[in-house]
A = this chain, B = another copy of it.
Amino acid sequence: MAVNMKGIARDLGVSTVTVSKALRNHPDISKTTRARILDRVKELGYRPNLTARSLVTGHSSLIGLIVPDLIHPFFADVAKGLSSAVRQRGYFLLISSSEEDPELEAQEIDHMLAHRLDALVIASCQTDPTALRNVQRGETPLILVDRSFKSFPSYFVGSDDYAAGKLATEHLVNVGCRRIAHIRGPENSVGIRRLKGFLDTIRRHGLAIPEENIIRAPRVDVDGKLNGAAALRQMMALPEMADGVFCYNDVIAMGVIKEALSQGINVPEDLAVIGCGNLHYDAEIRVPLSSIDQRSNQIGGRAAKLILEILGSETPMEFQDVILQPKLAARASTERTARSSSTPAKTGAQRRSAANV
């Protein structure tokens, strides 16, 4: 790798400029010269130093991606889609995880920008958008994915979380649930919108929502299973237990199902459960999980498309939101025939004693 353009130029008795142009298929190099140069390049296994090129051209062919968790299948999906879409245009992805820590995320943003990225994609865990605002002050286009911020206009690619909440809740109503609970997510755009979709749908159907049927689960994306189980126990402690529950994500839903079964509550007969994300947990779990597919596999690709547009446009482009429509994926965990809401419900206590027989 110690070989550089100067060396090749010297070997062939041409100038570095000629080599440079030949390598980039510049039209004003003669066929024979180009051939000579390419031959030598191949012979030496030479590759132009992209660091040097970046310094001159001002673009790095690097796109940054910061996600809260690299292992989470949703973000892995996003990363994969983004990576494969930009690869074809010669970009690489600089990936980093914020571990759901706003402070760490801010540091990583700062560090990434020092690498002079051509674009920065973030599924941000910030509670307020100050750090992101700083990015926008610079010259690196910022694309938010999954999570956005009120009163912070930006490019955004994500799914319609309000619609997700609506779809899930509507589905529970359709299969006959009348006392529907929601295990809600964090105080970010995603959690808030899913909750709103839930509430509006419940209201539209004239159903009641006792305050205590909205359950708050901490750290939903990390300890989901444990939190789901805990949330279920919380639900059972209520005087009138729900007959359906919309869970913020699939992992929580799985925790709910597991705990329900071990407490003698039948899913879906006693409790219909639906998650959100549709993240490959479908097939082998004991009760295949109904979920809302939020198109995680498309988000990366759409973000890539948006980035390429932004980078290709001469004049500054206006911010835009790309909102993907979620889709119901109904499976066994909500598969029951609609029954009348007049069926008297067992209380949590009743259920528990039934389970202990």
Contacts and interface: CB of A to CB of B under 8 A. Distances in A.
Contacts of A2: 139
Interface stretch (A83-91, A174-182, A323-331): A83-91
A232 to B, nearest CB: 14
Nearest to A90: B111
A206 interface: no
Contacts of A254: 283-284
Given A1-B140, A51-B55, A285-B286, A97 B83 contact: yes
A47 B80 contact: no
A159 interface: no
Contacts of A140: 1
A52 B55 contact: yes
A93 B95 contact: yes
Contacts of A62: 94, 115
B93 A94 contact: yes
Contact of A95 (B50, B79, B137, B138): B79
A8 B132 CA distance: 24
Interface string A43-72: 001011111101100001010000001110
A112 interface: yes
Contacts of A33: none
A132 to B, nearest CB: 14
Contact of A257 (B47, B258, B281, B284): B284
A92 B111 contact: yes
A101 B199 CA distance: 47
Contact of A80 (B51, B70, B110, B114): B70
A110 B45 CA distance: 10
A55 B56 CA distance: 11
A113 interface: yes
Interface of A: 1-2, 45, 47-52, 54-55, 60, 62, 69-71, 73, 76-77, 79-80, 83-84, 87, 90, 92-97, 99, 108, 110-116, 134, 137-140, 225, 254, 257-258, 281, 283-286
Given A84-B97, A92-B95, A92-B96, 16 more contacts: A45-B137, A47-B113, A47-B114, A50-B115, A51-B51, A51-B115, A52-B55, A70-B76, A70-B80, A71-B77, A79-B95, A80-B97, A87-B108, A94-B94, A281-B284, A284-B286
Q: For the complex of A and B, list the 7 residue pairs with the smallest distance between their C-beta atoms, beginning with the closest.
A: A284-B285, A47-B114, A70-B80, A1-B138, A71-B76, A95-B95, A50-B114
